[in-house]
Amino acid sequence: MQRGTIVVTSLTMLVYHASHEQFAPSRLLRLAIAAEQAGFSAIHSSDHFHPWSVRQAESGFAFSWVAAVLQATSLPVSMVCAPGQRYHPAIVAQAIATLSEMYPDRFSVELGSGEALNELITGTAWPSKNIRNERLLECATVIRKLLNGEKVTYHGHINVKDARLYTLPEIKPLLFCCALSEATAEWAGSWADGLLTTAGATKDVIAKKAKFEKGGGKGKPVYAQFSFSYATSKDEAIEGAYQQWRSNLIGVEKLDDLSTPEQFDQLAE
């Protein structure tokens, strides 16, 4: 089963979603190259420490992989990133700056509040959604300041002391926000350069886009991620979706309680 991303603006572009949970990094690199040859306009990468299911059985390091894709293709590349727990925002800023210096105007990041599945490997407490959003905004602010060449000291949900980036890109990359709900989309409109959201019914995407614009995001790009099961027959497509992505049926309200692929598999049975 594949995922695709579509930009919901007056100009629509088709983006290939690279799912690290499903494919080994070497194979995923070949798929990204094939996506460019097939006419996709850009590459988008997930960023997981754990896959959603033991059956998926992969989970490469996205920042390393993105560098390879930027070198191997001529397309714009973006990736999801959740700073604040698994990643310190200063390290995220350094990674963004390095990739953007090497590949000008081709790399962007969608910042999110994270999933327990990936973040709880640190052994620290999992905050409430409100606290995670506060932390996300703090991280985005710190990352922007560092990308602007500022020396940053900050104390809050995250702590930074005397941090400054000495390698800076000539063209500053866009910092999007990942948002699943209308409320988060509206909040993101005030600070993010664009929005990435999941797509179910078309009316839901339109509603989240409207909320994003209401919050200050009017005129900014909106990406909607659609999921497709691609196979040579309908039966194979259904079986592939069931084997790879039945964890998608788990309600959002339960995600905070699940921190391992085994737990997702057990609940999705």
Residues forming the active site: 48, 115
Calculate the CA 143 to chain-centre distance: 16
